[in-house]
Chains A and B, each alone.
Chain A
Amino acid sequence: MEINEDLKAARDVVQAILKSKKIIRMYPANNPIYIKTIEDCYARFHDYFDYREGLVLKIRQNEITWESEQVYANTEKEENLALFFFKDGLREITFTRGLSSEEMEDFLKIIAMDFEREVLDDDIVTLLWERDFQSIQYIADDALLADDDNYQDRAIEEIEGRSNDPDNILKAYQDAFSEQDVSQDTSIAPLSDADLKQLMQMIDQEGLGKTEKLVDFLFELPYLSETKAEFEDLTAFFMNAAEFVMQSGDLVIMNSMLSRLNVLIKEQHIDEEIRKYFRRVISYAGGNTIIKLLGEILDSGQEVDDKIVDEYVRYLDKSAITPFMNILGELENIHSRKIVIDALIFLGPKDIMTLAKGLNDSRWFVVRNIIYIFRKIADKRAVEFLLKTVRHSDIRVRKEVIRALGELGGGGVFQTLRECLEDPDAQIRSAALRALGTVASEAAKRIILDKIADKTFKDIDFEEKKEYFEVLSKWKDREVFAFLVDILKKKPFLFGSSKMDEIRACSAYSLGLLGNKEAIQILTKYKGESSKLVREFSFTAIKRLEHGQ
């Protein structure tokens, strides 16, 4: 192969590396573009190694050379491959024949990492070193590691300046003759198989339980701290620990930490000022940063024990409400959202006002979730916030809030529910009706009775009529019984008799649901009614009453 062809092959490899570095950052490993780029890059290496054993690239600040020939040059600071290697001290990279595709890809992944990010504690040399490639070697300049370039020369000069006194050495020589002989038993402690076994266990366990241990130490610190500054530091350590623990997904340690903090707060001898520090930690543990991390864990698909999350929530204070609401709209997994909803059901009563802010969220499903939470909390104070949501643009939200109002009840809800009975949307009307049924008060009953008694009632759809009577049957009192019997007995006028029969049939249906057996005798009279609808509904109601269903 001619030198020019070799040079071209080397240049092709460098260009392939450059391209791969960009592509790897942009695409996931299963993307066809990613896969093709890796294959192309490997093919470039393969072409080069067809005729050569090794590819040695020398790195300078703005250029990369191969056998003194420039194969890459760039004077810009951004996207400069030479500078990228150079700034971490890399001065030479050698790829040898035998380079596997896997090693090459690992190398490319390393150089594609975002080294500007704060969290990355490794530079490129460290990552290459840790990976310990078989077919990629490098030379790094360690001069940049010393803080003081002249330290070595100065230290050696100083120490060598104190040269040995010949007299002392000769005195040592003379004294040696009168010293005791060394023991003949100079064996080193032998290592047994049991020693090695024990050692292997120790090495295997290295790395376990470190966080717990550190947390244990942090709990020693209150007893070793005195000043305000020391407690400020300790608070920061606990907060960092909480963040690290949540990042690692270790909720068991988090719970243990929070439990111990709670115990400390309750301890008699702890000064109120110091308790404030511990409360700050608990608030932080339920703050945005930590809850966001929890959300990532919940949505990651990893198995999370609901009971452990539940325990964690129980240690938190009301400051956790907003962070939980923040992630509620972000979570993609239904089970994750259920966990967060449960958390808010527990935390919500600590601060209803804050929870109510969630009703202003722009996402309909978040608002619906918050309404659901209010339903579960069952605190009547929530009604004033919920009433504002009844006119929400999304029908799913409106249905949920009407349901909630029904469950919460109270005087304030009737006017709204009555209005909802007139809503153009049948689903809203139905929800309002059922909500009144849930309230189950006299006032609610009155609204329904008035509605049925209204002359326009006959014009509504049969199914809706039936729903009114079904709801009305929840009041199992004499008034309702008499009301229903009266309707049933009403003789229809010639005109509009079919609409009236619908009402009478619903009345029969409702008497059946009411469960009062006195109605059997009355209903029996209508078994032979000319209206088929009344006849059938009376028959069904009698059967229901006879069988006690």
Chain B
Amino acid sequence: MDSKQERELHKNAKELINQISVVLRTSQIHDANNVALASSISRLVTMINALVSQENILVLELRGEFFYINEYRIRYSLEYLLNFDFMVREFKKRELGNVTFKGQIRPDDIKAFIKAFIDASFSQEPYNTIQEKMANVRNIDVGILKKVVEDDSLDVRKMVKKTYFNAVSFTQGVINKIKSGEKVNIKKAKRVVESMVDQILEEEQMLLGMTAIKDYDEYTYHHSVNVSILSIALGQRLGMSRRMLTELGMVSLFHDIGKMDIPNEILNKPTHFTDNEWSVIRKHPLWGLKAILKLKRFDDLTIKSAIVAFEHHMNFDLSGYPKLKKGSKLDLLSRIVSLADQYDAMTSARVYSRIPLSPDKALSIMMERAGTQLDPLLFKFFTNMVGVYPIGTLVMLDTKELGLVCESNQLFPDRPRVMIIVNEAGIRTKGAVIDLTEKNERDEHVRSIKKTLDPNKYHINLAEYML
């Protein structure tokens, strides 16, 4: 298949997924004979048959958070974002993993599928219901949702850790090189960021989990990498392309480069800063701009990096620093990095305020700043990304178990995956990860979050559980 065909297939596939979503949504409102529904079904049938005629078969499969059509991963597009999310949610709810269309599809086939799909939502065993009701539909097969194999996740975790620590080590190397006047290898920097982008696209939660561990000695380097990871993750939510994500990852990795010029005695000062010390710290965006512009000849990436380094403390409403004679709207990348920077800084121990906040507390403070210091629209996406209970949040469950949020849930934000660290008997435990979406036979959730606590208050070292 050549690229043109690929693009065509990809475009058609996106529209197909969108159209299925439209049909399913419409069918929840109207009965089977409704004109609007019939028209939607007719359009869907045309689209399916067109795709089937090209490749003889059309397999729509849900893997993780992504749909695949005939083995091609269909990337989210912004225009269909809500319908894609709806489809992921509804498929997961019914444990439906794939739908195969073959031969000539008729509107009645689709109607049968819709009926099976709707009926399944009222069933205790939704997938079995769909399978049973589709048994007589010759041209459409269904398959169950496949679970992620646990063994694989160990290897994945290893890779995620490697990516994270490579990035930190590289960042440390870059700062040292700049300090000693050596040349920085931009090619290497891109490779580091590309690895992070890949991990975000495939294993977002694990890499985000790495950013939740805040007790490393070398805050500056970890902070740069954390901001880069959080920015890429947010960029992905915004629908940015891989190339844009790489640029975003690069600019965010170097956003604090100006800090290398802050004297260590100020940077590592254990007590509060004096006014003079603050004025030195407030110069780091300017120093960052200069450091980046000195790195190499100007190109698009240098310019974007310099802008972000200069603007990342300027604030959405330009109330921050540095103050300019001619103020202009903050750059999109700067607004993204500001969010990631504030979140990581607030939840870390070695920042100017010295008082690390719990992730949920940090979010609530950021919410107050949305519209003034922070871009309110991007903040919405950010909260959707990190969830109501961000990774690293210490939670007490209604089962009297104490746990740490280790993976957020995009579809049910109040039901993340939690690692239990104290069981219901009040005894320390380690390792068991439970999913708060789990339900019992009465269709009630087995566990829910009852309270949140500040892990910093109890000096809880997340690394022990999350590395």
In the bound complex, residues from chain A placing their C-beta under 8 Å from that of B451 are 176, 179-182
Query: Binding site of A, secondary structure by majority: helix, strand, loop or mixed?
Result: helix
Residue B269 interfacial (CB < 8 Å): no
Which single residue of chain B is at the shortest CB-CB distance from A100?
A: B2
In the bound complex, residues from chain A placing their C-beta under 8 Å from that of B402 are 169, 172-173, 176
* A122, A145, A152, A202: the one within 8 Å of B161 (CB): A152
In the bound complex, residues from chain B placing their C-beta under 8 Å from that of A220 are 322, 324-326
Number of A residues contacting the other chain (C-beta, 8 Å)? 83
Q: Does the CB pair A126–B191 fall under 8 Å?
A: yes
Q: Does the CB pair A179–B383 fall under 8 Å?
A: no
Residue A129 interfacial (CB < 8 Å): yes
Q: Kindly state the separation between the CA atoms of A243 and B299 in the bound complex, as whole angstroms.
A: 10
Q: Does the CB pair B331–A203 fall under 8 Å?
A: no
Which single residue of chain A is at the shortest CB-CB distance from B423?
A: A173
Q: Kindly state the separation between the CA atoms of A9 and B450 in the bound complex, as whole angstroms.
A: 65
Q: Does the CB pair B298–A148 fall under 8 Å?
A: no
In the bound complex, residues from chain A placing their C-beta under 8 Å from that of B379 are 189
Query: Beta-carbon contacts of A137-158 to B below 8 Å, as 1s and 0s?
Result: 0001011111110011001101
Q: Does the CB pair B464–A164 fall under 8 Å?
A: yes
In the bound complex, residues from chain A placing their C-beta under 8 Å from that of B319 are none
Given A199-B238, A213-B328, the answer on whether A122 and B297 have CB atoms closer than 8 Å is no
Q: Kindly state the separation between the CA atoms of A179 and B453 in the bound complex, as whole angstroms.
A: 8
Residue B273 interfacial (CB < 8 Å): no
In the bound complex, residues from chain A placing their C-beta under 8 Å from that of B449 are 182
For residue B428, give the distance in angstroms from its CB to the closest CB of chain A: 6
In the bound complex, residues from chain B placing their C-beta under 8 Å from that of A310 are none
Q: Does the CB pair A195–B377 fall under 8 Å?
A: yes
Which single residue of chain A is at the shortest CB-CB distance from B4?
A: A102
Q: Restricting to B185-208, which residues have a CB under 8 Å from any CB of A?
A: 186-188, 190-192, 194-195, 198
In the bound complex, residues from chain A placing their C-beta under 8 Å from that of B114 are none
For residue B75, give the distance in angstroms from its CB to the closest CB of chain A: 10
Q: Kindly state the separation between the CA atoms of A145 and B195 in the bound complex, as whole angstroms.
A: 10
Q: Give the one of A103, A175, A182, A193 with max B CB within 10 A.
A: A182
Q: Does the CB pair A162–B239 fall under 8 Å?
A: no
Q: Give the one of A126, A129, A155 with max B CB within 10 A.
A: A155
In the bound complex, residues from chain A placing their C-beta under 8 Å from that of B463 are 156, 159-160, 162
Q: Does the CB pair B240–A147 fall under 8 Å?
A: no
Which single residue of chain B is at the shortest CB-CB distance from A241?
A: B298
Number of B residues contacting the other chain (C-beta, 8 Å)? 99
Q: Does the CB pair B467–A160 fall under 8 Å?
A: yes
In the bound complex, residues from chain A placing their C-beta under 8 Å from that of B355 are none
Given A142-B162, A148-B173, A189-B383, the answer on whether A169 and B426 have CB atoms closer than 8 Å is no
* B198, B380, B414: the one within 8 Å of A195 (CB): B380
In the bound complex, residues from chain A placing their C-beta under 8 Å from that of B383 are 188-189
Q: Restricting to B205-227, which residues have a CB under 8 Å from any CB of A?
A: 213, 215-218
For residue B329, give the distance in angstroms from its CB to the closest CB of chain A: 9
Q: Kindly state the separation between the CA atoms of A207 and B384 in the bound complex, as whole angstroms.
A: 25
In the bound complex, residues from chain A placing their C-beta under 8 Å from that of B325 are 220, 223
Q: Kindly state the separation between the CA atoms of A126 and B193 in the bound complex, as whole angstroms.
A: 10
Given A145-B166, A170-B426, A179-B453, the answer on whether A203 and B78 have CB atoms closer than 8 Å is yes
* B165, B380, B396, B458: the one within 8 Å of A169 (CB): B458
* A119, A132, A152, A165: the one within 8 Å of B242 (CB): A132
Q: Does the CB pair A172–B460 fall under 8 Å?
A: yes
Q: Restricting to B1-35, which residues have a CB under 8 Å from any CB of A?
A: 1-6
Segment with Cβ contacts to A, from B43-51, B102-110, B303-311 = B303-311
* A119, A122, A123, A189: the one within 8 Å of B384 (CB): A189
* Other 5 A-B pairs with CB < 8 A, given A103-B3, A211-B303, A224-B322: A155-B165, A186-B413, A195-B380, A199-B78, A210-B300
A: residues with CB less than 8 A from B are: 89, 98, 100-103, 119, 121-123, 125-126, 129-130, 132, 134, 140, 142-148, 151-152, 155-156, 158-160, 162-166, 168-173, 175-177, 179-182, 186-189, 191, 193, 195-196, 198-200, 202-203, 205-207, 210-211, 213-214, 216-217, 219-221, 223-224, 233, 236-237, 240-241, 243-244
5 pairs of residues in contact across A and B, judged by CB atoms under 8 Å: A122-B190, A172-B422, A172-B455, A244-B298, A244-B303
* Nearest 4 Cβ contacts at the A-B interface: A147-B173, A152-B165, A151-B169, A244-B298
